[in-house]
């Protein structure tokens, strides 16, 4: 009876140690996996941002340079909008005149 008690106690201790090692290894692997995934995400983010910057730079090179007056203030923008509206009104009037003269 005493012998069985010590065998059970030794078995429980050995199983406890095995579980402790498994849990420790599992948490270690989980931490390692998490760190690797964070590093991959960081590298991916840097790659995407670098690619976006390259494409933006290429697009800006292909774009014709803006005139010096391109630094628009809100008043400049409003004036541009007003000019565009006036041009649209002129085109509409010319189109209406063309339609009436062709009938």
Q: pLDDT of the chain along its 103 residues, tens only? A: 889 999 999 999 999 999 999 999 999 999 999 999 999 999 999 999 999 999 988 888 877 665 555 555 777 888 889 899 999 999 999 999 988 887 6
The answer to whether the beta carbons of residues 48 and 40 sit under 8 Å apart is no
Q: Is residue 19 part of a domain?
A: no
Does 103 fall in a domain?
yes
Residues spanned by the domain of 103: 72-103
61 in a structural domain: no
- Total structural domains within the chain: 1
- Do the domain assignments include residue 76? yes
Q: Does a structural domain hold residue 40?
A: no
Is 23 a member of any domain?
A: no
Residue 101 lies in a domain: yes
Q: Enter the pTM of the model.
A: 0.45
The pair of three-digit structure tokens given for residue 59, joined into one six-digit string: 């697009």
Instruction: Supply angle C-alpha 31, 34, 37, rounded to 5.
Output: 150
For residue 83, being part of any structural domain is answered with: yes
């Amino acid at each position: 009876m005493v012998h069985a008690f010590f065998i059970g106690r030794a078995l429980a201790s050995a199983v406890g140690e095995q579980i402790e090692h498994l849990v420790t290894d599992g948490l270690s692997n989980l931490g390692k996996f998490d760190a690797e995934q964070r590093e991959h995400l960081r590298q991916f983010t840097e790659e995407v941002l670098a690619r976006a910057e390259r494409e933006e730079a290429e697009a800006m090179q292909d774009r014709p340079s803006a005139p010096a007056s391109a630094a628009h203030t809100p008043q400049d923008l409003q004036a541009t909008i007003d000019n565009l509206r006036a041009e649209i009104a002129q085109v509409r009037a010319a189109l209406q005149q063309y339609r009436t003269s062709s009938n």
